[in-house]
Structure 1
Amino acid sequence: MRLDQVRALLARITGLFVIVFFGVSLSVAPVHAQDAARSNDAVAADEEDDIEEVTVTGSRLKRDTYTSISPLQVISGQVSREVGLVDPSTILQEAPSASGVQIDLTFGGFVVDNGPGASTVDLRGLGAARTLFLVNGRRLAPSGVEGSPTSPDTNLIPGSLVQQYEVLLDGASSVYGSDALAGVVNVILRKDFDGFEFEAFSNVPASGSSEGGRNQLSASWGYNGDRGFIGIGAEYREIDDMTLADRKWSNQCEKHAEVTTTGEIRTEDLYYSNIFGQRSPGDCKVTALSGYVTELGAPSIGTMLYRQGFSNLGVPNLSDYFAFSTPVDTTGDGFADVSFVDHNLNGNTQFVDIIPDLETTSALAYGEYTFSGEANLTPYFELQYSRRETSGEFFAAQLFPFVNALNPFNPCNPLGAGVDCGLAYDSLLDNPNYAADFAAIQGLTPAQFRDFGIVDLYTGAVGPIPVQPVVHVRGDRGSNSTDVKQYRAVAGIRGDIPFLNFGSFEDFSFDFFVSSSESDGDSRWTGVRGDRLDLALGNYSSTGTPCNNDFGVPVASDTAPGCVPVNMFADSLYANIANNDFATPQERSYLFGERTFKTKYTQDIASFYMNGDLFELPAGEVLFGLGAEYRHDAIDSIPNETAGDGLFFGFSADQGAIGEKDTEEFFAEVEAPLLAGVPAFQELTVNLSTRHTKDEFYGGAWTYSGKLAWRPVESLLLRGTVGTSYRAPNMRENFLAGQTGFNNFTDPCVIPDDAIDPVTGYDPSLDQRSPEVIANCVADPDVDPFTFTNGGIQTYNVEVSSGGALDLSEE
């Protein structure tokens, strides 16, 4: 929408407000002269009729009772604080209907809509982008980091200033507009100020340690008068980080658990002991592994596990544990020489945060004042500043680069520091203990299979072959810090419209406000750069020479400077299962880089609304409301080159988002009590609402809602609803330039384990993948779905790319 169009729209909205305000002013003028002539009896009668009206979430209509025709849950802020719940995220998490994909800080994964450290609300499991979040009935703008944030961050709400949380569990697009498909959360701020208040809150874990503890300090001052109030408050909240090591229930590995039909509880998995010949299978689940090398150049050669000072292959410090369905026991002690259980990351990454460090600072000033006169003109304002800072180590990432066959450190490069791994495996097949175990299972020794012409399992000399090491480096791609600041200003005026009180019309009022919000977020990750690692390993070189790029692969400007050869097979990378490091500080300094993001989101709103009583029915007044709203959203989310091009090893790419759009909405609502106070119909009320939403890119759409409330007796209320909801594509769906993530658990192009014969390899007759899946894999020239295996241990994931578009349809 161009500037002149914006001005025209604002002129239409404010023009309606000016007409109403001018009429209000004319009607107010003679009030002062009339006051002296009015009798005391008339004033007393007015006071009896002066009943405070309220607006209940789910409807914009004012009413004299706190009731709702919509399903509404009200959570008291004061009661929540008294039971030890002080921050909005924790309080809303207690609501049964709020299932949060990111409701608390434990969700620090690769790609989340609002970025790491945010807390958003997801009602009824439909997604945070389909839940509308309001403060005092007015939209709170999204805030966050990375990509394109879609939802407000509840961490930025000062919980000590909240009177109550109203949770609407109904589609409410016809009342509140786009995004309210799943429901609405409306935070009502306090008005009950009386001087200065100071509160200190501390939540000490039962373990007695400070990790995971919460501390909060809040101070507020306010004044309440006959005509208004003013309140000023500030709040500081901190949550100490809590790692897996800090609690008894998390400082152990994730364990097996099986209950037999007789009630026996089994925790030790005997499968690995029986099948793979493992010495100590233990009770820990085998998840991700670290400290092993997979050979990629010979079909019969598999995975070698690191064991310092020992090898059953002749490859220094590397040994096989299972070959051709036979545990590798070259020592003859009845157990496999090495065990992958000893390389299990499960239970060995206790430094990972369950809850990261969090600090929030909030300051809020708001108030209102009602002028004397029949129009009860009441200007009001809200000014808010909030800041959230988080830092934590969210996961232990595996590092598994491809290593060129000619890399000088490659253990399978006989031209460098390694050996011929084909000959090494042949020596294993000839080991007397292994050959005997093999014959016990297969009926013949490997040599007899070859000599009898059945199948030759021997590899022979293969020369240099590529390999893939798998290790964990402390601090690699798991540590993140964020800093998000949000500024919000609201200015408005409301009042009565006395000149509309004619005929059956009465009690009409209006509310006009403008608001402006801006959030600025910074995010920082540290980790190994994949492009630098490839260069340092010689993967860009025809001769495998580290730091040489004779292939001419395009690289970033900061990829080559400072390059040093990197040894991915140094003992320092394998000495521990986790918490390892590169052999030299120079290697770490070169490989580690920063992934940074700057995200700015602005939202401006102008809104006008009026409502009143149309006429009276025997059961009560017919209420009517009419309004219009204009909204301008803009996103400016800029990544550095590392983030935009996905230069971290195995990490998501995020090109950010840049764009803006306008939304115009017009809406109306009417509510009529059809019956009341008669047998079987203590209440029968109908509510109808409609809204037209015009999105800059998608045209217009109508939504409607019809609700019926029937109360046969005072203690029973039956509700029924019919209607439509609407959600225009949000800023993320419009303008996300491009973002990748790893959203699935396996790679469909990898040959399933069930389709691999232990002796002959891939068997197409056992492959249960659908023809469509195989066809899609074949279409990728870099993947062969008939030879691509995962080595029996490592599972791979597919990188999925997503982005915004301007030709999407509304939801």
Structure 2
Amino acid sequence: MMNRKPLSRNPLSFALATAVLFAASAPVFAQDSSDQASEGTKSKATNLDTVTVTGSRISKDTFNSVSPVQVVTREESLLAGFNSTTDALQSTAVTAGSSQINNAYGGYVTDGGPGANTLGLRGLGPTRTLILLNGRRVAPAGSRGAVGSADLNVLPNSIVDRIEILKDGASSIYGSDAVAGVINIITKTKVDGVSFEAQHNATDGGGGDQRRYSIMFGATGERSHFSGSYEYYTRNELTLNDRSWTRCATDKYRDIDVADHWGSGDFIDPLTGQSKCYTLDSGGVTINTIGTNTRTGVAAPGGVGTRFNRWRPNAAVTTGLVGYEGVDTFTRDTFDKDMLNQSLISPAKTHTLFFQGGVDIGVLGDAELYYEFLGNKRKSTQTGYRQLSLDYGVGNPLIPANLRDSVAGAPTNLTNGANLGVRAFIGFGNDQSKQNVDYYRFNAGLRGNLGSEWKYDFNVMHSDNDADYTFQSFLTSRLAQSLNVVANGAGGYSCVDPSNGCIAAPGLNSNTIGGNLPADWKNWVFVPVTGNTQYKEDTVNFNVNGPLFDMPYGTAAGAFGVEYRKAKIDDSPSQYSVDGDLFNLTSAAPTRGSDSVFEAYGELELPLLSGVTGAEELTVNLSGRYTDYKSYGSDETYKIGTLWTPVKWLSFRASYGTSYRAPALYEQFLGGTTGFLANTADPCNEYGEREPSSLRYQNCASLGLDPEFQATQGVTVITQGGAETGLKAETSTAKTLGVVLQPEFGAGFGDLSFAVDYFDIKVENGVQDAGGAGILTNCYNSSTADFSAGNGLCRLVERNPLNNALTVTNGFINVSTDKVRGLDFTLRYVRDIGPGEFRTTTQFTHYIEQTNKVFQDDPEVNYSGQLRFPKNTASFDMSYKWKNWQTRYGVEWIDKMESYTYYEEDPATSQYKLYTPNYFLQSFSVQYEADKWSVTGGVRNLADKEPPTISQGVYNTVGNALLYSGFDYFGRTYFMNVTYAF
């Protein structure tokens, strides 16, 4: 299962998929709204005010763009049933199936901490996608040391007018992070009066309900305007117990010698005769069990043999190990009903305040003094489950007499210097993590005219993230102190060291093993652990734009500007974490650092031809940016784009550009976090079994190690930021080629438009946490390994001369390469039918390549089509609007996925289920709009489609479902939205 090679291509019926597209869909251009788009894409919208399209800083009187820009309007999000901007942005229609960090990842270590929601386009990750609000950066938010991306939770909802998605590299326009694309959330500017809005999304199966209440307000005067919104959003917890498909996760293995169906190879619970729930999960937890030296005893029901080192209490056993029955892999307990209390979707509450406004001051070029404020408060929690491995040392009086002769291993950090006697595997129960995140962003500026045609804009912005994060943990020092006891003369035991209020650990008995633990002891050894994360960012920007000079077929325009940004991170973990006192959890040092950048940029748009035969329009756009970072020095990026319209109904567009991403602050300054690998991870362990001519053999021999060397120490891995190792920015190139068709068929046929865009993005020198095992393998297999000089990756490896223990510094380094290539298809058709208007839109993405490799010598692996990397995705919706009514029907499709090729498995004989079938989500809604109020209601996941299942132990799963944001975990959901305006 571990031999990996690139997937061989197995294209789908591409012609069929394309034919489906032509049946009902639409290209998405840079557009203001769907109504304006149908006119604005036919000819120049000269009746429109000048606008700035995402992907350009030049104001113009047309919405056409050299780069493809997808637009999602507020109305479309509402009809689709999304209850937040976050949900709309993480939908398949925007992400094209690439996996996102959402509310199902609460139990995992993710950048931004639990509860954060992020967005990454093209599968290149959230740090390579730039999020803007009204054209200005949304600074990172979240908790813990790895805050480096915008948290979608901070965004407003009801006042959003539209979302523009540029799926093209744009660092020359916007600076760092715009590698895979740009998301620009644009708010409504013309708001007069007050309106209320309420929306409730209720799941059919219970749990996970969402409610949002908002008020939007504004006023426009002769010389000033003001608008804003306040919103309260709450999401209830959805637990594993709330869904049938998560209540009993099984192996889902197949034994084709027994039966050719999934589950025939599962561990069978001897008590039920069915596949065992929550089985070992690739060597995971066991509970209600003790570990001892190997001894003779009675097997548990369904077990075999007479010699065991794992036991379960059973008072009926009177021979062998009295009071205990021996358990093996098949019979030991791995399930506790409290496991079903874990969060499937974590709960959250947010308060969001947004306001914007401006006043004409009548001087400095008829300037407007404008301002914008965004404030957000998030409270989120996650429920988990904890196992406790409690080590009793040899001779500990808390061990019953018939187990005191057990010597199960060497001393541990709980046995106070004694050898390990008995280890109790205890199902401790549920634990909880919580986050309180306060975020605000304020910017103000002055914009006006420079002469009659040029405009200027000066802006100052400050963003601030302040988060407290709390989780529960056992303290190693307190556990050890509580196990160091003596008899107190009253039939009980007391701590040898009673300082700090020590409470003696419970004796080893069936209650302790079963998780029935004294409350006072639990409260002393299991405590809340709180840290604080602060992230601040300041930006000063000045730019001008306007016409430059006349050309034979139009006027050249330009935009020029300078920008200064400074960011600072300060993550202070609990002192318990810094001291390494969190039992079975990694230690973490503070993450503190800052960086600043000065940039100068320029953009030109040149109308080469217009209104001539063979060129209704030929425009070239050029942009460039000079960047000077304090951390790594200077860099330049550029982009060239062109739009050619030979005839009115046909346009070609193309662009080529370079982008870069400056290392995030956590990638530079992450405090050292300690983890461990097994002793067998030492590359020199028994290296004499290798060929003497091999690089591994020669490199180990150069250290003076005996060929029969056996590693007895685990490998310490310290993960930290890469500032000290000379971390640089990663660079990338992006190409796009597009064709837009807008045929005019005459009255009665309707408006049909079609676009196809080819994209090709390559990231080089990518910033990557290489991993301890990867560093060791590549160091010891290198022909240039020089441990004394510390060159290459070997500079990150240190071997203790006394005991030969290895320590690996797993810093972020510039090593990885990422490539993504594919095609975006968009088809739209609009026609008047009967008394109303019919509109249908389809978006389809085909990934040709999604390749990643960490080290230069690694084989390139094309992940396209594998689990979590669908080769094809599409969204389709059609609506009909007449008078005050509108209906919508939508479908989201994710292509089937499989990983058999990757693992070199034959799907006909493999015991593992490593595929998911085609996945469809349907939705339906109805809307009625009156003069001052509207009601929208509908259903998401109309067919109550459950996520497809796979075998456990290969990929992260929820139950047996693949952990993947493209699948719906809520089930059928009813929604209703009501608005009322005064």
Give TM-score scaled by structure 2 length: 0.60
Per-residue CA deviation, residues 620-649 of structure 1 (Å, 9 max, x unaligned), is 332211100111212222222123234221
State the secondary structure of the residue aligned to 1:586: helix
User: 1:563 deviation in Å?
Assistant: 2.1
Q: Whole-Å Cα distance in 1 between the matches of residues 619 and 257 of structure 2?
A: 56
Structure 1, residues 339-383: CA drift from partner, whole Å, max 9, x if none? 744512387610101122200001112112345689442221112
Please point out which of 53, 63, 72 is paired with 2:69.
72
- What residue identity is the alignment partner of 2:162? Q
Alpha carbons 2:539, 2:564 under 8 Å: kept: yes
The alignment partner of 1:178 has SS state of coil
Shift of 1:593: 1.8
Q: Secondary structure at the match of 1:181?
A: coil
Aligned to 2:118: 120
Give the match for residue 623 of structure 2: 689
- Tell whether 2:428 aligns with 1:493: no
Q: Does 1:106 align with 2:99?
A: no
Match of 1:350 among 337, 340, 350: 340
Residue 104 of structure 1: how far off its partner (Å): 1.7
The answer to whether 1:315 aligns with 2:321 is yes
Which residue does the alignment assign to 2:169? 171
Where do 1:78-477 residues align within 5 Å?
A: 78-96=75-93, 98=95, 103-207=101-205, 209=206, 211-225=207-221, 228-254=224-250, 256=252, 258=254, 265-269=261-265, 280=273, 282=275, 284=277, 286=279, 287=281, 288=284, 289-295=286-292, 303-311=309-317, 314-321=320-327, 340-341=330-331, 343-345=333-335, 349-370=339-360, 375-393=365-383, 395-410=384-399, 416=401, 418-421=403-406, 466-475=421-430
- Distance in 2 separating the partners of 1:122 and 1:263: 42
Equivalent-residue separation in structure 2 for 1:773 and 1:238 (angstroms): 59
Q: Tell me, in whole angstroms, the C-alpha distance in 1 between the residues paired with 2:456 and 2:109.
A: 43
CA shift, 1:690, in A, is: 0.9
1:570 corresponds to which of 509, 526, 530: 509
- Give the Cα–Cα distance (whole angstroms) in 1 for the partners of residues 223 and 590 of structure 2: 48
- CA shift, 1:786, in A, is 5.7
2:555 to 615, 618, 621: 621
Match of 1:749 among 661, 664, 680: 680
> Residues 665 and 691 of structure 1 are in contact (CA less than 8 Å); yes or no, is this contact kept in structure 2?
yes
Question: Partner of 1:325 in structure 2?
Answer: none
For residues 313 and 653 of structure 1, do their structure 2 counterparts lie closer, same or farther at Cα, with a shift above 3 Å needed?
farther
What 5-or-longer segments of structure 1 have no aligned partner? 1-47, 323-338, 424-462, 502-506, 550-558, 756-761, 790-795
Is residue 536–residue 566 contact of structure 1 (8 Å, CA) maintained in 2?
yes
Match in the other structure for 1:667: 601
AA paired with 2:441?
R
Listed one character per residue, the Cα deviations across residues 6-41 of structure 1 (whole Å, up to 9, x for unaligned) are xxxxxxxxxxxxxxxxxxxxxxxxxxxxxxxxxxxx
Q: Which residue of 2 aligns with 1:526?
A: 472
Q: C-alpha deviations, 1:146-167, integer Å up to 9, x for none?
A: 1141112111112111111112
SS in 2 for 1:726: strand
Distance, in Å, in 2 between the alignment partners of 1:715 and 1:250 is 52
Q: Do structure 1's residue 801 and structure 2's residue 790 form an aligned pair?
A: no
Structure 1 residues 248, 321: closer, same or farther in 2, change over 3 A? closer
1:751–1:788 Cα contact (<8 Å) kept? no
2-structure distance, mates of 1:125, 1:495: 40
Question: Aligned pair in 2 of structure 1 residues 317, 169: CA closer, same or farther (>3 Å)?
Answer: farther
**Does the C-alpha gap of structure 1 residues 536 and 285 become closer, same or farther in structure 2, counting only changes over 3 Å?**
closer
Larger of the two Rg values belongs to structure: 1
Deviation of the 1:804 alpha carbon = 4.6
Amino acid aligned to 1:304: R
Question: For residues 268 and 440 of structure 2, what CA distance do their matches in structure 1 show?
Answer: 57
Corresponding residue to 2:432 among 479, 485, 490: 479
Is 1:281–1:341's contact at 8 Å kept on the other side of the alignment? no
Specify the SS of the correspondent of 2:461.
strand
Instruction: Quote the Cα distance in structure 1 between the aligned partners of 2:99 and 2:618.
Output: 38
CA displacement at 1:618 relative to structure 2: 3.7
The alpha-carbon deviation at position 468 of structure 1 amounts to 3.1
1:377–1:496 contact (8 Å) kept in structure 2: yes
For the 8 Å contact 2:687–2:696, the answer to whether it is kept is no
The alpha carbon displacement at 1:396 in A equals: 1.9
Which residue is 2:653 aligned to? 719
SS in 2 for 1:652: coil
Q: Structure 2: 5+ residue runs without aligned partners?
A: 1-44, 297-305, 409-417, 487-492, 731-982
Counterpart Cα distance in 2 of 1:787 and 1:279: 43
1:703 and 2:637 correspond: yes
Are the counterparts in 2 of residues 238 and 358 from structure 1 also a CA contact under 8 Å? Answer: yes
Cα shift readout 1:512-571 (whole Å, capped 9, x = no counterpart):
11011112111111121122223333499xxxx99558xxxxxxxxx9512233247332
1:380-432: CA deviation from partner (whole Å, max 9, x where unpaired): 11122210001121x32332244422333346xxxx56254589xxxxxxxxx
> Secondary structure at the residue paired with 1:236?
strand
SS in 2 for 1:80: helix
Q: Residue 601 of structure 2 aligns to which amino acid in structure 1?
A: F
From the superposition, tell whether residues 495 and 748 of structure 1 become closer, same or farther in structure 2 (CA, over 3 Å): farther
Letter in 2 for 1:290: I
- Greater RCO structure (CA 8 Å; 6+ sep): 2
Pick the structure with more helix per residue. Answer: 1
Distance 1:122 1:345, change over 3 A: farther
Q: Distance in 2 between matches of 1:654 and 1:773?
A: 35
User: CA deviation digits over 1:164-198, x for unaligned, max 9?
Assistant: 11122112111111122222111111123121100
User: Partners in 2 of 1:723 and 1:560 — Cα distance?
Assistant: 65
Identity, in percent, stands at 30
Distance 2:715 2:274 in 1: 27
Which secondary structure does the structure 1 equivalent of 2:393 belong to? coil
Give, in angstroms, the shift of residue 472 of structure 1: 2.2
Is the CA contact 1:100–1:121 (under 8 Å) kept in the aligned structure 2?
no
Q: Tell me the alpha carbon deviations over residues 439-481 of structure 1, each in whole angstroms, 9 at most, x when there is no partner.
A: xxxxxxxxxxxxxxxxxxxxxxxx9853433222123xx4101
In structure 2, the residue corresponding to 1:62 is in which secondary structure? coil
Distance 1:296 1:167, change over 3 A: farther
**TM-score in terms of structure 1 length:** 0.72
Q: Do the aligned partners of 2:290 and 2:425 also contact (CA within 8 Å) in 1?
A: yes
Q: Is the 8 A contact 1:233 1:364 kept in 2?
A: yes
Q: How far apart, CA to CA, are the structure 2 residues paired with 1:573 and 1:319?
A: 16
1:714 Cα offset (Å): 4.1
Q: Is the 8 A contact 1:473 1:573 kept in 2?
A: no
Instruction: Give the direction of change, closer, same or farther, for the CA distance of 1:515–1:787 in structure 2 (3 Å limit).
Output: closer
Q: Decide whether aligned partners of structure 1 residues 192 and 773 sit closer, same or farther in structure 2, where only a CA change above 3 A counts.
A: farther
TM-superposed CA distance for 1:592, in Å, is 1.1
Q: Does the CA contact (< 8 Å) of 1:134 and 1:186 recur in 2? A: yes
State which of 666, 670, 689 in structure 2 corresponds to 1:736: 670
Residues 135 and 186 of structure 1 are in contact (CA less than 8 Å); yes or no, is this contact kept in structure 2? yes
User: Quick check: 2:475–2:526 contact (8 Å CA) kept in 1?
Assistant: yes
Deviation at 1:508, TM superposition (A): 1.4
Residues 175 and 625, structure 2, Cα contact 8 Å, conserved in 1: yes
